[in-house]
Chain A
Amino acid sequence: MNSGIKNKSITYKLTVFVISIIIFQAILFTSSLKFGGVIEKGRENAYKSFSDTVYNRNNYLQSEMKNSWTNLSPYLQELSAIVQDCDSNEDFYNQSTNTLINMLRTTHSSGAFILLPCEDFSEENRLNSLYIRDYDPFLNDSSNKDLYLFSGPASIARDLQIPLDQNWKYSINLTQDNEKFFKNPWDNITETYNPNYLGYWSKPFYVVPGDFQVITYTLPFFDKNGTPRGVLGVEISLNYLQQFLPASEIQRKDSLGYMIGFKDKGDENITPFIMGGALQKRMISGNESFILEPVDDDLSLYKVLNHQGKEDIFASIQKIGLYLNNTPFEEEEWYLIGLMGERNLLSYVNNIQNVMSLSLILSVLIGIIGSSFVSFKVTRPIIDLSEKVKKSDKKSVFIPDGTGLLEVDELAQAMAVANNELLASSMKISKIIELVDVSMGAFEYSKSGDDLFITEQLKEVLKSEDTDIEDFEENKDRFIDYLEWIFKNVENGEEDVYFIPGKKTKWVKIKTVETEGSVLGVAINVTQEIMEKRKLKREIDFDNLTGLYSRSTGQRLFEEVVNSNEDIQTAAVIMFDLDSLKEVNDNHGHNFGDAYIRESTRRFKTVKPAGKSILSRRSGDEFLLFLYQYPDKDTVRKEMDDFFARLKEIPVPLPNGDVIYISMSAGLVWFEDTRDNYEELINKADSLMYKAKKTRKGTLME
Chain B
Amino acid sequence: MSISKRVFLVTSFILIVIFFSACNSLGGSMQSPLDPDKPVTVTIWHYYSGHNKENFDTIVEKFNETIGMEKGIVVEALSQGDVQQLADAVYNSANKGLGADPMPDIFAAYGDNAFRVNQVTPLITLDTYFSPEELSSYRKEFLEEGNFLEDGKYRILPIAKSTENLYVNKTFWDKFAEETGASIENLATWEGLAETAEKYYNLTGEGFFGIDAKANFMLLGSIQNGEELFTYDSKDGKASLNFPQEYGKKIWDYIYKPYINGYYIKQGRFSSDDAKTGTIMAYTGSTAGAAYFPKEVTFNENQVVPIDVMTLPYPYFENGTKYVIQQGAGMCIAKSDLEHEYAAAEFLKWFTLPEQNLQFAVSTGYLPVKNEALEEDVLLNYLNEAGIKIPSIVSSVKTSAQMLKTHILYNSKPFEGSYDMRNLMENHLINKIKRDLEFIDEEVLKGQDKKDIIGKLSSDEEFLNWFEDFNNQAAKILN
Q: Which residue of B lies closest to A276 (CB)?
A: B61
Q: Which of A138, A148, A166, A279 has the most CB of B within 10 A?
A: A166
Query: Are A373 and B9 in contact, with the CB atoms below 8 A?
Result: yes
Q: Does A670 sit at the interface, judged by CB under 8 A?
A: no
Residues of B contacting A165 with CB < 8 Å? 50
Residues of A contacting B294 with CB < 8 Å? 168
Q: Does B67 sit at the interface, judged by CB under 8 A?
A: no
Query: Are B69 and A362 in contact, with the CB atoms below 8 A?
Result: no
CB-contact partner of B79 in A136, A369, A372, under 8 A: A136
> In the complex, what distance in Å separates the CA atom of A427 from the CA atom of B255?
141
CB-contact partner of A161 in B5, B65, B269, under 8 A: B269
A158-B268, A380-B1 given as contacts; is B276 within 8 A of A164 (CB)? yes
Q: Does A139 sit at the interface, judged by CB under 8 A?
A: yes
Q: Does B372 sit at the interface, judged by CB under 8 A?
A: no
Q: Which of A139, A162, A365, A380 has the most CB of B within 10 A?
A: A139
CB-contact partner of B273 in A128, A158, A279, A362, under 8 A: A158
Q: Does A135 sit at the interface, judged by CB under 8 A?
A: yes
Residues of A contacting B81 with CB < 8 Å? 136, 139, 141, 145-146
Q: Which residue of B lies closest to A139 (CB)?
A: B81
> In the complex, what distance in Å separates the CA atom of A89 from the CA atom of B103?
46
CB-contact partner of B268 in A146, A157, A254, A366, under 8 A: A157
CB-contact partner of A163 in B12, B37, B292, B304, under 8 A: B292
CB-contact partner of B267 in A138, A158, A365, under 8 A: A158
Query: Are B69 and A170 in contact, with the CB atoms below 8 A?
Result: no
A166-B50, A376-B5 given as contacts; is B269 within 8 A of A157 (CB)? yes
CB-contact partner of B69 in A146, A171, A239, A253, under 8 A: A253
> In the complex, what distance in Å separates the CA atom of A145 from the CA atom of B267?
15
Q: Which of B8, B65, B85 has the most CB of A within 10 A?
A: B65
Residues of B contacting A277 with CB < 8 Å? 61, 65
Return B101 CB to nearest CB of chain A, in Å: 12
Q: Does A319 sit at the interface, judged by CB under 8 A?
A: no
> In the complex, what distance in Å separates the CA atom of A157 from the CA atom of B292?
14
Query: Are A212 and B276 in contact, with the CB atoms below 8 A?
Result: no
Q: Does B82 sit at the interface, judged by CB under 8 A?
A: yes
Return A14 CB to nearest CB of chain B, in Å: 15
CB contact list, A363-393 vs B, under 8 A:
365-366, 369, 372-373, 376, 380
Query: Are B65 and A278 in contact, with the CB atoms below 8 A?
Result: yes
Residues of A contacting B80 with CB < 8 Å? 139
> In the complex, what distance in Å separates the CA atom of A365 from the CA atom of B302?
88
Q: Does A691 sit at the interface, judged by CB under 8 A?
A: no
Query: Are B39 and A253 in contact, with the CB atoms below 8 A?
Result: yes
Digitize A149-171: 1 where CB-to-B-CB distance is under 8 Å, 0 elsewhere: 00001100110011111101111
CB-contact partner of A239 in B5, B39, B57, B267, under 8 A: B57
> In the complex, what distance in Å separates the CA atom of A148 from the CA atom of B277?
15
Return B263 CB to nearest CB of chain A, in Å: 19
Digitize B7-22: 1 where CB-to-A-CB distance is under 8 Å, 0 elsewhere: 0110010001000000
Digitize B30-58: 1 where CB-to-A-CB distance is under 8 Å, 0 elsewhere: 00000011010000000001110110010
Residues of A contacting B61 with CB < 8 Å? 277-278
Return A131 CB to nearest CB of chain B, in Å: 14
Digitize A116-151: 1 where CB-to-B-CB distance is under 8 Å, 0 elsewhere: 000010000000100000011011010001101000
Q: Does B96 sit at the interface, judged by CB under 8 A?
A: no
Residues of A contacting B8 with CB < 8 Å? 369
Residues of A contacting B57 with CB < 8 Å? 239
> In the complex, what distance in Å separates the CA atom of A165 from the CA atom of B293?
10
Residues of B contacting A164 with CB < 8 Å? 268-269, 272-273, 276-277, 292
> In the complex, what distance in Å separates the CA atom of A154 from the CA atom of B85?
25
CB contact list, A242-278 vs B, under 8 A:
248, 252-254, 277-278
A135-B79, A239-B57, A373-B9 given as contacts; is B270 within 8 A of A163 (CB)? yes
Q: Which of B9, B12, B80, B81 has the most CB of A within 10 A?
A: B81
Return A146 CB to nearest CB of chain B, in Å: 5
Query: Are A170 and B79 in contact, with the CB atoms below 8 A?
Result: no
> In the complex, what distance in Å separates the CA atom of A145 from the CA atom of B51?
15
Return A171 CB to nearest CB of chain B, in Å: 6
> In the complex, what distance in Å separates the CA atom of A163 from the CA atom of B65?
33
> In the complex, what distance in Å separates the CA atom of A170 from the CA atom of B53?
24
A136-B53, A161-B269, A373-B9 given as contacts; is B301 within 8 A of A128 (CB)? yes
> In the complex, what distance in Å separates the CA atom of A163 from the CA atom of B82?
12
CB contact list, A288-325 vs B, under 8 A:
none
Q: Does B147 sit at the interface, judged by CB under 8 A?
A: no
Q: Does B300 sit at the interface, judged by CB under 8 A?
A: yes
A141-B85, A146-B81 given as contacts; is B50 within 8 A of A372 (CB)? no
Q: Does B62 sit at the interface, judged by CB under 8 A?
A: yes
> In the complex, what distance in Å separates the CA atom of A376 from the CA atom of B300?
103
Residues of B contacting A239 with CB < 8 Å? 54, 57
Residues of B contacting A362 with CB < 8 Å? 16
Query: Are A372 and B85 in contact, with the CB atoms below 8 A?
Result: no
Return B47 CB to nearest CB of chain A, in Å: 10
Query: Are A145 and B85 in contact, with the CB atoms below 8 A?
Result: yes
Q: Which residue of A lies closest to B12 (CB)?
A: A369
Q: Which residue of A lies closest to B13 (CB)?
A: A369
Query: Are A170 and B301 in contact, with the CB atoms below 8 A?
Result: yes
Return B298 CB to nearest CB of chain A, in Å: 5
Return B433 CB to nearest CB of chain A, in Å: 15
Residues of A contacting B272 with CB < 8 Å? 163-164
Q: Which residue of A lies closest to B81 (CB)?
A: A146
> In the complex, what distance in Å separates the CA atom of A362 from the CA atom of B79?
54
Q: Does B380 sit at the interface, judged by CB under 8 A?
A: no
> In the complex, what distance in Å separates the CA atom of A373 from the CA atom of B390?
81
Query: Are A154 and B298 in contact, with the CB atoms below 8 A?
Result: yes
Query: Are B65 and A166 in contact, with the CB atoms below 8 A?
Result: no
Query: Are A146 and B49 in contact, with the CB atoms below 8 A?
Result: yes
Residues of A contacting B49 with CB < 8 Å? 135-136, 146, 148
Return A583 CB to nearest CB of chain B, in Å: 100
CB contact list, A97-119 vs B, under 8 A:
none
> In the complex, what distance in Å separates the CA atom of A154 from the CA atom of B298?
9
Residues of B contacting A153 with CB < 8 Å? 301
Query: Are A154 and B273 in contact, with the CB atoms below 8 A?
Result: yes
A163-B270, A239-B54 given as contacts; is B12 within 8 A of A365 (CB)? yes
> In the complex, what distance in Å separates the CA atom of A158 from the CA atom of B275?
12
> In the complex, what distance in Å separates the CA atom of A163 from the CA atom of B301?
18
A157-B269, A161-B269, A279-B65 given as contacts; is B79 within 8 A of A169 (CB)? no
> In the complex, what distance in Å separates the CA atom of A365 from the CA atom of B61?
48
Q: Does B353 sit at the interface, judged by CB under 8 A?
A: no
Query: Are A135 and B50 in contact, with the CB atoms below 8 A?
Result: yes
CB-contact partner of A369 in B9, B36, B69, B302, under 8 A: B9
Q: Does B291 sit at the interface, judged by CB under 8 A?
A: yes
Query: Are B50 and A157 in contact, with the CB atoms below 8 A?
Result: no
A166-B292, A170-B301, A278-B65 given as contacts; is B50 within 8 A of A148 (CB)? yes
CB-contact partner of A162 in B16, B269, B276, under 8 A: B269
A141-B81, A365-B12, A373-B9 given as contacts; is B273 within 8 A of A170 (CB)? no
Return B88 CB to nearest CB of chain A, in Å: 11
| Given A135-B54, A139-B79, A139-B80, 12 additional A-B pairs, CB 8 A | A136-B79, A138-B78, A146-B81, A146-B82, A163-B268, A168-B294, A170-B301, A170-B304, A237-B54, A278-B62, A362-B16, A372-B5
Q: Would you give 8 A-B contacts (Cβ < 8 Å), ordered by A?
A: A128-B301, A154-B298, A157-B268, A158-B267, A161-B268, A164-B273, A366-B16, A369-B9
Interface residues, chain B, with chain A CB atoms under 8 Å away: 1, 5, 8-9, 12, 16, 36-37, 39, 49-51, 53-54, 57, 61-62, 65-66, 69, 74, 78-82, 85, 267-270, 272-273, 276-277, 291-292, 294, 298, 300-302, 304, 390
Interface residues, chain A, with chain B CB atoms under 8 Å away: 120, 128, 135-136, 138-139, 141, 145-146, 148, 153-154, 157-158, 161-166, 168-171, 210, 212, 237, 239, 248, 252-254, 277-279, 362, 365-366, 369, 372-373, 376, 380
Complex A-B, nearest 10 residue pairs according to Cβ-Cβ distance, in ascending order: A154-B277, A163-B269, A164-B273, A278-B65, A170-B298, A136-B79, A146-B81, A166-B291, A161-B269, A135-B49
